[in-house]
Amino acid sequence: IQEKCEVDRIDTQGQVFTITGKPENVARAEAAIKELIEKGYCALAFEGFSENVINVHSSHFPDLIGKQGAVVRKIKEELNVEINFQDVPKGSLPSKKAKVTLAGSAADVEKAKTVINNILMYCHDELTHPGQVHEELDIEPWAYRYIIGRAGSEMKHIQHNWKVKVNIPRETSANDKVIIVGEADQVERAKTYCEKLIWNAENNSKGRDKADNATADPWGDEEPEEEWMKGYMYKR
């Protein structure tokens, strides 16, 4: 900030900043420091600064943050961008959208936006999940329960046996297809298994069974916010 704003000095003592220089330069430096305190970044730190906001269902924040912050940290480090997640009060509806703010150079912000949209749509991106691919399955909602299984038994079997992630769409999902993510050969095997489950369901289930389960929520309650996620959230 001192160099960019061409001020003589910026002294810090406790919580007090003392800026010395020409009035117009001091004003610029003061604005930059206030922005840094408020947002965690300032425009002066980036060439061709850009700021972009994506409105995302808060239920997808864990996918964008990743375990122990691994996903968001990878995006920030590789693309040299800042990412802030709006704080979501406890008890908020899963359908409520919240802001994800991206800041950095214009080109890098656009790249980060593409990565985030890929994760929302396909549950992975090459930057954050290298070597992974996905397959989409067009499955009727009444048949989701056959992929999930009693108490999640089928889902656990599929994910453990082939080391894949299976994402079944919810009301807030960007993609209305069932998505299988992992290494290519394992994804193909898991897909074949799921298709067999659905074929059996379609040939063995009665129409009334389909109707009874068409509107049921096979997932139950949303997972609670974990402690490690709080460092990536910000309050309005």
Share of the chain above pLDDT 70, in %: 86
pLDDT score, position 134: 97
pLDDT score, position 57: 92
Question: Comparing 205 with 140, which gets the higher pLDDT?
Answer: 140
pLDDT score, position 194: 96
Residue 215 has pLDDT above 90, yes or no: no
E strands, the chain, are 9-13, 16-20, 49-57, 82-86, 97-105, 133-137, 165-167, 178-182, 233-234
pLDDT in tens, 138-186: 999 999 999 999 999 999 999 999 999 999 999 899 999 999 999 999 9
pLDDT in tens, 23-41: 888 888 888 888 888 888 8
Residue 81 has pLDDT above 70, yes or no: yes
Tokens 């993510």 identify what position? 181
Q: What's the pLDDT band for 205 if we cut at 50, 70, 90? A: low
Question: Comparing 140 with 221, which gets the higher pLDDT?
Answer: 140
- Burial environment of residue 228 by CB neighbours within 10 A (0 to 12, 13 to 18, 19 or more): exposed
Nearest C-alpha neighbor of 52 from the set 8, 10, 114, 5: 114
Mean pLDDT over the full length of the chain: 85
Q: Which residues lie closer than 8 Å to 127 by C-beta, 6 or more apart?
A: 74, 75, 78, 79, 115
Q: What's the pLDDT band for 15 if we cut at 50, 70, 90? A: confident
Mean pLDDT of 123-141: 96
Cβ atoms of 101 and 51 closer than 8 Å: yes
Cβ atoms of 67 and 229 closer than 8 Å: no
pLDDT score, position 160: 97
Residue 229 has pLDDT above 80, yes or no: no
Distance CA 104, CA 110 (A): 9
Instruction: Give the predicted TM-score (pTM) of the model.
Output: 0.76
∠ at Cα 23 (19, 27), nearest 5°? 65
pLDDT score, position 135: 97
pLDDT score, position 42: 85
